[in-house]
């Protein structure tokens, strides 16, 4: 049973920083991609950042490029999302995802096999 558990969310003022963590367990083989998504109330879930775990290449949504950094600690089965210069529009529930369903899919699409429960990020102005 694959489990993804997110942590690190909270409330912060605009311009501040947070670091999210996603711990993966119950996996018997390597993932291909892991990613962070977010969903604000009334909005669709959107891809924020993804990492190709075998090689550590990364991809970001335009809205967070230069402010957010995705990274991994393979020994700890953990993926991080460092979020700097946060804006009120970054307020959302943030979800971790693992295993892009097909290797030719967009890594920032929602086509992942496994999802965490989410952690709330609130940025006040």
Q: How many residues does the chain have?
A: 125
pLDDT at site 1: 83
Tokens 């970054």, residue located: 90
Digit-coded pLDDT (tens) for 12-66: 999 999 999 999 998 766 778 999 999 999 999 999 999 998 888 999 999 999 9
Alpha-carbon gap, residue 53 to 30, rounded angstroms: 8
Residue 17: HSE in the Cβ half-sphere, 13 Å Cα cutoff: 8
């Amino acid at each position: 049973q694959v489990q993804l558990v997110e942590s690190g969310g909270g409330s912060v003022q605009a311009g501040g920083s947070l670091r999210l963590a996603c711990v993966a367990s119950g996996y018997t083989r390597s993932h291909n991609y892991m990613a962070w998504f977010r969903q604000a109330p009334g909005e669709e879930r959107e891809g924020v950042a993804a990492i190709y775990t075998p090689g550590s290449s990364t991809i970001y949504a335009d809205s967070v490029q230069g402010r957010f950094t995705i990274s991994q600690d393979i020994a700890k089965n953990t993926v991080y999302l460092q979020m700097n210069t946060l804006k009120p529009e970054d307020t959302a529930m943030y979800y971790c995802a693992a295993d892009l369903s097909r290797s030719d899919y967009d890594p920032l699409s929602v086509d992942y096999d496994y999802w965490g429960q989410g952690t709330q990020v609130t940025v006040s102005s």
